[in-house]
Structure 1
Amino acid sequence: MTDQRTGLAHNYKNVTGLLHEGVVNWDRSAEDLWNAAETSETRINARVYRELRPALPAELPLDDQRSLVRGFCLFLKDRYEVACHWVVHAPTFHDKSVGKRLWDNKSTEAGKAKYREALTDPEMTNRNFH
Structure 2
Amino acid sequence: MAIYRCEIKTVSRSQGASAVAGAAYRAGLDVTDLRTGERHDYTRKQGVVASGILAPAGSLEWVQDPAQLWNAAEAAETRKNSVVAREFLVSLPHELTEEQRADGDQLRRGCALYAVCEFDIVTVPLPPTKRPAEKRLVQI
TM-score, scaled to structure 1: 0.65
Higher strand proportion, which one?
2
| Aligned: 1:19 with 2:49 | yes
Q: Which residue of 2 aligns with 1:58?
A: 94
Higher helix proportion, which one?
1
Question: Between Structure 1 and Structure 2, how many residues are aligned?
Answer: 99
Whole-angstrom distance in 2 between the partners of 1:31 and 1:5:
12
Deviation for aligned residue 1:23: 0.4
- The answer (yes or no) to whether the contact 2:89–2:137 under 8 Å persists in 1 is no
- The answer (yes or no) to whether the contact 2:48–2:126 under 8 Å persists in 1 is yes
Describe the superposition over 1:51-105 as per-residue Cα deviations: whole angstroms up to 9, x where unpaired. 1111111212224323232442123213x142001111235xxxxxxxxxxxxxx
Structure 1 residues 58 and 121 mapped into 2: Cα distance closer, same or farther (>3 Å)?
closer
Q: Classify the secondary structure of the residue corresponding to 1:53.
A: strand
When structure 1 is superposed on structure 2, of 36-45 and 19-28 the one drifting more is 19-28
Q: Which runs of 5+ in 2 are unaligned?
A: 1-30
Amino acid at match of 1:87: P
Structure 1 residues 39 and 9 mapped into 2: Cα distance closer, same or farther (>3 Å)?
same
Q: Which residue of 2 aligns with 1:74?
A: 113
Q: Classify the secondary structure of the residue corresponding to 2:87.
A: coil
Describe the superposition over 1:9-53 as per-residue Cα deviations: whole angstroms up to 9, x where unpaired. 111211121221110116331111110100010111010011111
TM-score, scaled to structure 2: 0.60
Matches within 5 A, 1:1-130: 1-25=31-55, 27=61, 28-66=64-102, 67-68=104-105, 69-78=108-117, 80-91=118-129, 119-122=130-133, 126=134, 128-130=136-138
Amino acid at match of 1:10: H
RMSD: 2.1
Q: Which runs of 5+ in 1 are unaligned?
A: 92-118
Amino acid at match of 2:67: E
Structure 1 residues 127 and 44 mapped into 2: Cα distance closer, same or farther (>3 Å)?
closer
- The answer (yes or no) to whether the contact 2:98–2:128 under 8 Å persists in 1 is no
